[in-house]
Chains A and B, each alone.
Chain A
């Protein structure tokens, strides 16, 4: 999915613990009728989600050229090949950089910006200005990734049509024509990362600002009386107080980072020479251009399994933290 808006995860699985939940009292006490309401949703999810998952998991144990060709049983061949596939490993190295750009930097910057907006701007200049600025930070989150990507690729165009090159030409006085996206790995990957940060930053800002409203203002006042400066107060109070929100942001953006596709597809198309591949993009390329859909299915399955594992770990950690609190 596009890393536009994150869906909060890990909430619904929890249920109130009481034994007497809301229920329509039935004379015959039968729950059977409720199944009828699940039918449309269950049929749809089986066709659109579960069938493709099962099909690709199965296909990862076969070689298949696609179309009318016969499937040939491959055992674990695809999985073994994947483990030593340089392009796949490279794409996972890039995921580390993607996590920096989509999770770590936005979360840290988001903490500072949210605290500044809430604390300094909100108090000194009024709530209107702070919510206007918050909205500005949020704007890239609802821009289609394709539109944001095309905008950035215009700014980074390799010739003198590109904004950045034109700007550098004016500043340095000599003609600058850097091929940011297609020239070399470092500038291409850095460009992708900048786009990701630009898109992601608004999400933590909005969530953290809402979280800060829960924090008791007396905490800050007490710290102020103790002579702590703004940054000390920020460091000591903000992260611990809004830890649950930091956790949710980290979870949802990590999952989005593992699945990232759009920024790479639009900005670099995986280049130069496949160096900016991410796993999703690699799987997509193999499905479209590869000769073995079984192998493509193996890549896609590997990402899916990884995403599910990360989600399970995060939910477990969260549940444990909550039990400790209670």
Chain B
């Protein structure tokens, strides 16, 4: 029972959003947040939709996260092929260098990258964020796949060599298909991690049509004249993509986190 009560506490704020997003501003001011709306009212949602370019932010988030997920997986596979199968010299140090991408706090990257992207004209361009997070996410992928490929069945590689396959062929036709389940888990995680990122996108994306979903909501929250019901509606709408994603990939997500932690 205790566990169920705890779960209820966890979803409670989201239920509150649902309860209050459909109240008119007058209704909201005069009722308790735990009351049901007096009548279904879409003022908040309408104001949010009209004043904010949410579809644009949604598209930006989808574009950036998809690009990062795909490119980071490709880079991870290439890196780990050289490290895990090729066992290139100095690979321990190479893995450590990649590991730094995971450890380093983002404020250490923020200013030099800001200047670099400014020089390259990439500020407020989704590719500034894509480039950055391809590296950060693929660092994790490299490190996971390298240890996986370090114990890759030798027989398969030998069979490929006997068939006269080049390294590139072996990677594409023998290794990647076997890794596919792991790669799809990685892709799901890279997507959601990138979707949720805050500090560096906040620094690099400054024009209103380059904002991602979290940035749009954060900006709305910072504007003083924002009506509370509009803010509630905006928050609820910003939660929806995550909920959909969660329902679609729930199994992959729980499998993925445990795969990383348990030997």
Question: Which residues of A come within 8 Å of B, CB atoms?
Answer: 1-2, 4-5, 7-9, 11-16, 20-26, 31, 33-38, 40-42, 44-45, 47-53, 55-56, 109, 113, 116-117, 120-121, 131, 133-140, 142-147, 149-155, 157, 160-161, 163, 166-167, 170, 198, 201-203, 206-207, 210-211, 214, 244-245, 248-249, 255, 258-259, 261-262, 265-266, 280, 283-284, 287, 293, 296-297, 300-301, 303-304, 307-308, 311
Contact = CB atoms under 8 A, between A and B. Distances in A.
B128 to A, nearest CB: 10
The 4 closest A-B pairs by CB, nearest first: A34-B86, A146-B214, A8-B260, A210-B258
A161 B105 CA distance: 35
A146 B198 contact: yes
B33 A163 contact: yes
Given A49-B97, A55-B112, 15 more contacts: A1-B105, A5-B257, A7-B102, A11-B260, A13-B96, A44-B131, A48-B131, A50-B100, A144-B238, A154-B232, A161-B228, A207-B262, A210-B258, A248-B261, A300-B111
Contact of B88 (A31, A149, A214, A266): A31
B157 A22 contact: yes
Contacts of A154: 228, 231-232, 235
Given A24-B160, A206-B254, A48 B32 contact: no
Residues of B in contact with A, size category: 35 or more
Contacts of A26: 161
A24 B199 contact: no
Interface of B: 2-4, 6-7, 10-11, 13-14, 16-17, 20, 28-29, 32-34, 75-76, 78-79, 81-89, 92, 94-113, 116, 131-132, 134-136, 138-140, 142-144, 146-147, 149-154, 157-158, 160-161, 167, 170-171, 189, 192-193, 195-199, 213-215, 217-218, 220-221, 228, 231-232, 234-235, 238-239, 242, 245-246, 250, 253-254, 257-258, 260-263
